[in-house]
Amino acid sequence: MPLEWIDTHAHLDDERFQGDLPTVLARAAEAGLTRIVVVATTALDSPPCVELARTHAILRATVGIQPNHVAEATPTAWDEVVALANRPEVVALGETGLDRYWDHTPFPQQEDYFARHLELARKLQLAVVIHCREAEADTVRMLRADFEQHGPVRAVMHSFTGDLATAQACVEMGLYISFAGMLTYKNAQALRDVAARMPLERLLVETDCPYLAPVPHRGKRNEPAHVVHTAGVLAETLGVPLSVIAEHTTRNARALFGL
């Protein structure tokens, strides 16, 4: 039986997929993918993500506003996200989170929207997709405050690039850690060392396509079928067969997103 995979983070609404999405999805199915989570980054691209999931059986969607896009959000943007969150195709909110690498959005405003996503997810019993770039301490601080007040949240640290302490703090609070193509890069040994210490029960894989293509596709447009390359490096890193990675990451993705 072929191995089964779930790409937990794909930006298939990106214009780079406009010309050939059916072919991309066919290649994904051929590679063993049974679900792909299409992740929104703005109130504007949330409806197209939901529409994609309504149109293609293999897809599910998230709705939300990525921290770097919060500054440009219109006054009605959050209400538009809230209105979409009840749709049956929607399995999570996000991507949300904190980002100190870019300074598009003042940090207090990022915190405000991150908190909104966490609160709405709890209310609607949805998962949360968390983006964190050079803001690990702040993200853990906010997650811990939320955890102490409300208990575990169903969430994933997507495209994880943080250190071991951050990963362990998140795992202790019940979050999942998702690895993308960076894991396969030659200069990413520190990240592989973190991955090696993660429990199988908390691991996810993703492409974050069209960005971050794994080796041997690095530099080209990424797509969901390529998730198997990241999974292959994860298997080597953990010293387990690829089938073990497939089994656990697929089961974990199902549990997180209710797939």
The residue among 7 and 208 lying less far from Zn ion, judged by its C-beta, is 208
Interactions with Zn ion, residue window 13-52 (CB under 5 A):
none
Q: Which is nearer to Zn ion, 238 or 253 (CB)?
A: 253
Determine contact, residues 164/199, Cβ cutoff 8 Å: no
Q: Contact at 8 Å (CB) between 60 and 85?
A: no
* Footprint on residues 208-247 left by Zn ion (CB under 5 A): 208
* 195-214 residues near Zn ion, rule: CB under 5 A: 208
Q: Taking a C-beta distance cutoff of 8 angstroms, is the pair 62, 13 a contact?
A: no
Shorter beta-carbon distance to Zn ion: residue 117 or 238: 117
Q: Smallest gap, in angstroms, from Cβ of residue 23 to Zn ion? A: 22
Residue 93: CB minimum distance to Zn ion, A: 13
Residue 158 contacts residue 206 (beta carbons within 8 Å)? yes
Shortest separation between residue 39's beta carbon and Zn ion, angstroms: 5
User: What residue type is 57 in one-letter code?
Assistant: A
Min CB(78)–Zn ion separation in Å: 19
Q: Which two tokens stand for residue 37?
A: 């989570």
Please report which helix (H) or strand (E) contains residue 204, including its range.
strand 203-205
Contact criterion met (CB below 8 Å) for 9 and 180: yes
Q: How far is the CB of 142 from Zn ion (least distance, A)?
A: 19
Can you tell me which residue has the tokens 């997103």? 257
Residues binding Zn ion: number (CB under 5 A): 1
Q: Which residue is nearest to Zn ion (CB)?
A: 208
Q: What does the binding site for Zn ion look like in residue numbers (CB under 5 A)? A: 208
